[in-house]
Amino acid sequence: MSIRTPEDLSDQLSNDLAWRKKELAQIKSLVKSQDIPPSRHKVFVRSAICLLDSHWEGFVKFAANAYLNYVRIRKLKYGELSHNFLAFAMKDKLQAVNETNKASVYIQVCNFFISELSQRAKLPKDGISTSSNLSSAVLREIILTLGLDFIPYSSKDKLIDEKLLQSRNKIAHGEYLSIDGDYYMELQAQVVDMLDLFRNQIENAAILEQYQLPSLTNTKS
């Protein structure tokens, strides 16, 4: 489905998040169940941590690329993009500058900023990766790329890096880790809150056209 309007984007995000929340709700009900023997319950909670992290990482990647593709289909010129999206579109050129001392490469980049900003921007489709480990540092880079506000997540480093990601990695790599059911349910509640926050930030950014230079947005209003 093509994402041409803020409503299309919202529908995509809502649909993807809905099935994840449904599955997490089912997991929560099983974690709370009193009918599972303690030994089996511990195994189940350990598995639930891995699934919780997969939904966290999966939705952030899906939502970030849905927004990127929404901006891409706007067909804006380089000079019309907000600075974060211009930097993302320029990533390959800037990387080439970083990897060489050749004057010809520097000149190409200078020429781009002088004469090519009026060209239609080329943004990569599905170009945002979580690096298969959505740490707080990776999340910060994704949020900066999208031009969103990282402040609401700034106090979540320990939650993301230790309680969620580190626990997932230990379990996935065969280490024994005993996790209390109440601990898991509190962790799931906090992760779901972050998922909702991320969705809302993207939806608001699309509605407010934060992917464009502020001067262009103000001209339209």
Return the CA Rg of the chain: 21
Residue 60 lies in a domain: yes
At 53-81, the pLDDT tens digits run 999 999 999 999 999 999 999 999 989 99
DSSP 165: I
Backbone φ, ψ for residue 171 (5° rounding): -65, -45
Residue 208 lies in a domain: yes
Backbone φ, ψ for residue 81 (5° rounding): -75, 145
Residue 68 lies in a domain: yes
Q: What domain range includes position 176?
A: 6-75+133-220
Annotate 90-129 with DSSP letters as a single string: THHHHHHHHT---HHHHHHHHHHHHHSTTSBP-PPTT---
- Take residue 32 and report the two structure tokens written for it: 């709370």
pLDDT given at position 3: 86
Residue 96 lies in a domain: no
Across 161-173, average pLDDT: 93
Structural domains in the chain (count): 1
Confidence class for position 219, pLDDT limits 50, 70, 90: low
CB 48 within 8 A of CB 27: yes
**Alpha-carbon gap, residue 91 to 179, rounded angstroms:** 41
pLDDT given at position 174: 87
Residue 214 lies in a domain: yes
pLDDT given at position 92: 65
Residue 203 lies in a domain: yes
pTM of the model: 0.88
